[in-house]
A and B are shown apart, each in its own frame.
Chain A
Amino acid sequence: MKLPRYSSTALPRTEQVDPNLVAAAAQAKTQFVTESLTGLSEFAVQVYDAEQQTKQANAIAKTEADVAGFLASGEWEQEVTPEQKDFMGRTIRESRPMEEKKAEDWATIKKQTSGYLEGLTGRRRREAETALAGIYMKAEIEAQAKADKLRVRRAKNTTFDTVTMLQESGNFSAAREQIDTAAELGILSPAERKSALEQNREQEVLKPYYDAVATQNLSTIEQARAAILTDGSIADAEKRMTVYKQLLAEEDRLQSEEDDNPVFEQNYLKALPRAVDGSLSLDTLIANRDNLTESRFDTLTSIIRARSSNRSAGDFTNTAGEKYINDQIKNLLTWAYRDETVPYSEAVDQAKANILMNPNIGAADAMKALSDIDGYTKSIIDNPDWRQLLDVERASITGMTATGSFMAGDKDVEAEVYESLELGFYRAAMRQGDRFDADKWIAENRFKYRFDAISARAEKGGYNIVINEEATGIDLEKTKIEIINTFRRRTELEPSNDLYQDEEAALASIGREIKYLQKMLGMK
Chain B
Amino acid sequence: MSFAITAAVVSVGTAAYSISSSRKLAKKQDALGREEAAMEKDVTAERVRQIGREESMMREETVAATAASGVKIGSQSTLEVLAEQKAEFARERAITEKVGASRAAAALGNASLRSQTTKYQGYSAAASGLTNAFSLLHMRFG
A residues whose Cβ falls under 8 Å from a Cβ of B: 1-3, 5-6, 11-18, 21-22, 24-25, 27-29, 31-32, 35-36, 39-40, 42-43, 46-47, 50-51
Q: B21 interface residue, CB < 8 Å from A?
A: no
Additional A-B contacts beyond A12-B95, A21-B113, A43-B134 (15; CB < 8 A): A5-B88, A5-B89, A13-B99, A14-B98, A14-B99, A15-B102, A15-B107, A16-B102, A28-B117, A28-B118, A28-B121, A31-B124, A36-B127, A43-B135, A43-B138
Contact B116 A17 (CB under 8 A): no
A61 to chain B, nearest CB (A): 19
Residue B103 lies at the interface, judged by CB distance under 8 Å to chain A = yes
In whole angstroms, how far apart are the Cα atoms of A42 and B131 in the complex? 8
Can you list 16 A-B contacts with CB-CB less than 8 angstroms, sorted by A residue number? A1-B62, A1-B81, A3-B84, A5-B89, A12-B99, A15-B107, A17-B106, A17-B113, A18-B106, A21-B110, A24-B113, A24-B117, A35-B128, A36-B127, A39-B127, A43-B134
- Residue contact A21 to B117, C-beta cutoff 8 Å: yes
Task: Give complex CA distance A27, B85 in Å.
Answer: 50
Complex Cα spacing A25 to B135, Å: 29
Chain A residues with CB under 8 Å of B62's CB are 1
A67 to chain B, nearest CB (A): 29
Indicate if the CB atoms of A46 and B102 lie closer than 8 Å. no
A47 to B114, CA, bound (A): 37
Distance, CA A151 to CA B113, complexed state (A): 87
Chain B residues positioned under 8 Å from A14 (CB to CB)? 98-99, 102-103
Secondary structure at chain B's binding surface: helix, strand, loop or mixed?
A: helix
Contacts of A36 in B (CB 8 A): 123-124, 127
- Determine the distance from Cα of A29 to Cα of B118 in the docked complex, in whole angstroms: 10
**Docked complex Cα distance between A3 and B58 (Å):** 10
Residues in A with CB closer than 8 Å to B110 are 17-18, 21
A464 CB to closest chain B CB (Å) equals 31
Contact of B138 among A13, A29, A47 (CB under 8 A): A47
B46 proximal to A (CB < 8 A): no
Assembly CA distance A13 to B44 (angstroms): 12
Q: Nearest residue in B to A31 (C-beta to C-beta)?
A: B124
Query: For residues 89 through 142 of chain B, which have their beta carbon under 8 Å from a beta carbon of chain A?
Result: 89, 92, 95-96, 98-100, 102-103, 105-107, 109-110, 113-114, 116-121, 123-124, 127-128, 130-131, 134-135, 138, 142
Given A1-B81, A36-B127, A43-B135, is A28 in contact with B106 using a C-beta cutoff of 8 Å?
no
Q: Which residues of A contact B98 (CB under 8 A)?
A: 14
Chain B: which residue is nearest A4 at the CB level? B88
- Over the window 6-34 of chain B, the binary record of Cβ atoms lying under 8 Å from chain A Cβ atoms (1 yes, 0 no) is 00000000000000000000000000000
Which B residues, 25 to 63, have Cβ-Cβ distances below 8 Å to chain A? 47, 54, 58, 62
Measured between beta carbons, the chain A residues less than 8 angstroms from B99 are 11-15
Are B102 and A32 interface neighbours, CB within 8 A? no
Residues of chain A within 8 A of B124, CB atoms compared:
28, 31-32, 35-36
Taking the nearest CB of chain B, how far is it from the CB of A458, in angstroms? 32
Q: A22's closest neighbor in chain B, by CB?
A: B113
Residue of A nearest to B104 (CB): A15
From B113, B121, B131, give the contact of A43 (CB < 8 A).
B131
Residues of A within 8 A of B128 (CB): 35, 39
B107 partner residues in chain A, CB cutoff 8 A: 15
Known A15-B106, A39-B128, A39-B130; contact A32-B123, beta-carbon cutoff 8 A: yes
